[in-house]
Chains A and B, each alone.
Chain A
Amino acid sequence: MKTPLNHLHTARLPAIFCAALVCTLVFSANVLRADETCSSPYLARIDGQEEFVYVWTLGVEGMGDGSDKLVTVDVKPGSPSYGKVVSSSSVDGRNEAHHGGFTDDRRQLWLAGLESSRVFIFDVHTDPAKPKLTKTIDNFAETTGGAVGPHGAYALPGRVLIPCLSNAKDKGGKTALVKYGNDGNYITTHWLPTKENARGASGVEFADGYGYDARVLPRKNALLTSSFTGWNNYTMEFGKLTADPEAMKHFGNTMVMWDFHARQPKKVFQVPGAPLEIRWAWGDKHNYAFTATALGSKLWLVSADDRGEWQAKEVAPISDVKGGVLPVDISISADDKTLFVDCFGDGKCRVFDVSDPQKPKQIYEKQIGRQVNMVSQSWDGKRLYFTSSLLARWDKQGADNEQFLRGYAWDGKELKPAFDLDFTALKLGRPHHMLFGSTKIGANRTTVASRD
């Protein structure tokens, strides 16, 4: 059978090939490496530097309007309002605002409430400086067949994947991945594998059915999930929780590798101590992802071995502080060389050289605040943003309960403060997840995109 090349206009091929090659090189030179490094590869990227940081903020009773809100901060260099809040849009009540994510075209920002299981959909396309609430999903548990605790939203083509933390039946840790269309309509639910129903996955002896993060490596058709704890635990006062040995047994100790296209679990890994955020490396041949265990204070690597089999391995401790430092968020640089690790326990960001992913080495640490939770990094690695709140009932008390968004510049050696917003003084609440916004949106960044 003829191939497209040997059939069609063969005489023109050399000239066309050269034109394509030249064009590819021109496009490569023009691609501005922008955007945060931890976003979905299916997400339309920001061309140039981020202009806004969207902060999904937990409401605090008696503070301002007391409601959860989406706070928009101007981070355009040279802007008169640089480092200032330019808009704030409140939602109904307090929902344990936690994580969110854009749709693949970056026109909508979906923000989830862990306690109420409501999902708020904002239009960030019409006016990126002033997002507008357009829809609220308030029947999540009923629609999804009992999944609760939507943890965020991960862009897939034309859809969002919502990893959950709990279930409506017993509000424990057994949970599901849920898919919605970009139009806000429910599509389907995939429950995480358990010992009783491994759904064909190996490692069934470890399967606990818990969930937290979900991230895709497109060129390997790999979906990786991690695990935290259920509604009963994350809505409990932190002191009470840690004093309850039975409750402390109910944390996730697993990660699961899925066939992404088929949405079928393939292998359950034993990763003790609540593995939370997942960060796939970006390099074309870097078949690995990092996670940090919150209770174990360890860095773990999930990587393909010489036979292409996925394996999970502990690769480094995160500090030698007795009792751990509660690492809660990680951010990998676009060149896969540096990993920033936020530790809620002591409020420090620890920076690891992960050039050799099997042997991470801590190279720097910085006191960000008395508590620190999320970290977001620009694609060029020069700017990092930090927020303070973990969960409404887990944040520190008294003077240690600092609530901030802090911007820093990173020069490869140290973090230098750029701006500091006190969310308590501004009567906004507890800032949690950050996402980057812009008026300049380009194409998505997938494995095929790496050719240009």
Chain B
Amino acid sequence: MLRIVALAFILLSGRLTSATDPPRDSDYDYDPPAAGSYSLPVIKPSADGALLDSNNKSVKLRDLTRGRITLLSFIYTRCAAPKACPYATGVFNQLHDLSVDDETLAKNMRLVSLSFDPEYDTPQRLAAYSDNVRDQKSGCEWSFATAKSRAELETILAAYDQAVDKRQNPADPQGPLYHTLRVFLIDREGRIRNIYSSGTLDPRLVVADVKTLLPENARVSKQ
């Protein structure tokens, strides 16, 4: 049930701000600043860690946060809190859709959905989740992964200051884990340049931020 509800919110999130031209709406009732008209100071270096991707392959988080402008979202697939993981994944779906028709985004942007629930979010489950939430097969890279071990996960969460707690009621309708929504914007050099929560994860702002970073060390990654 939780998975169905979570998927429903992802779909609804996609609908609330359409893919081609995310509109101004009541939650984001402003014109976003033009890309490049402002700066994004470095917050801190992004941390590395050992992961398993949805193909059950060992990968380094470092390899998913270098060379392209990366959006890294910490999620778990059982999350049904409407303003948390389903919302973030819905926004990622919109960004992914946008990149299908935008060659610059397709070549320079990467999406990473990283689960902090490795016991449940096995590579197989992440692969199925990926198939469900990803609308387009083409477009920019979108990786789904989880930590290789619980110890590895704790190190990664601490490095990214990502709070995750077990809820007192494991059958809570919003999911068994409580967490603060964090999505990180990481430049090609692996430096964190912005941190979004549900209140700031406006796809228009994210695109403006990505395009603000594009001219920095502009080298197109390998296709």
CB within 8 Å of B: which residues of A? 1-5, 7-9, 13, 16-17, 19-20, 23-24, 26-27, 30, 41-42, 44, 104-105, 107, 157-159, 179, 181-183, 185, 187-188, 218-222, 259, 261-264, 284, 441-444, 446-452
- In B40-85, the 8 Å CB interface with A consists of 41-44, 80-84
A169, B160: Cα distance in complex, Å: 36
- In B88-132, the 8 Å CB interface with A consists of 90, 93-94, 97, 100-101, 132
Residues of A within 8 A of B20 (CB): 1
Chain A residue with the shortest CB-CB distance to B165: A441
Is B207 located at the chain interface by the 8 A CB criterion?
Answer: no
Residues of A within 8 A of B217 (CB): none
**14 sample A-B contacts, Cβ–Cβ < 8 Å, listed by A number:** A2-B136, A7-B136, A17-B8, A20-B12, A159-B195, A183-B44, A187-B43, A219-B26, A221-B32, A262-B37, A443-B181, A444-B198, A446-B197, A449-B83
Is B216 located at the chain interface by the 8 A CB criterion?
Answer: no
Count of interface residues, chain B, beta-carbon cutoff 8 Å: 59
Residue B82 contacts which of A30, A42, A221, A451 (CB distance < 8 angstroms)?
Answer: A451
Residues of A within 8 A of B90 (CB): 4
- Inter-subunit contact B135/A7 (CB<8 Å): yes
Given A157-B182, A261-B200, A261-B205: A1 touches B100 (CB 8 Å cut-off)? yes
The A contact surface, by secondary structure, is: mixed
Given A181-B44, A452-B82: A5 touches B37 (CB 8 Å cut-off)? no
- Inter-subunit contact A107/B8 (CB<8 Å): no
Is B87 located at the chain interface by the 8 A CB criterion?
Answer: yes
- Inter-subunit contact A443/B81 (CB<8 Å): yes
Q: Within the complex, what minimum Cβ distance (angstroms) separates A153 from chain B? A: 15
A41, B28: Cα distance in complex, Å: 14
A449, B135: Cα distance in complex, Å: 25
A42, B200: Cα distance in complex, Å: 9
Chain B residue with the shortest CB-CB distance to A189: B41
Residues of B within 8 A of A4 (CB): 10-11, 14-15, 19, 90, 93-94, 97, 135
Q: Within the complex, what minimum Cβ distance (angstroms) separates A441 from chain B? A: 8
Residues of A within 8 A of B199 (CB): 41-42, 157, 218-219, 444, 446-449
A16, B10: Cα distance in complex, Å: 11
A359, B111: Cα distance in complex, Å: 49
Is B174 located at the chain interface by the 8 A CB criterion?
Answer: yes
Give the interface centre of A264, A441, A446 by most chain B CB atoms within 10 Å.
A446
Residues of A within 8 A of B42 (CB): 187
Given A26-B173, A262-B38: A447 touches B30 (CB 8 Å cut-off)? no
Q: Within the complex, what minimum Cβ distance (angstroms) separates B170 from chain A? A: 16
A443, B20: Cα distance in complex, Å: 30
A289, B18: Cα distance in complex, Å: 31
Chain A residue with the shortest CB-CB distance to B182: A158
Chain A proximity mask over B194-210: 1 for CB below 8 Å, otherwise 0 = 01111111000100100
Given A158-B182, A444-B198: A3 touches B83 (CB 8 Å cut-off)? no
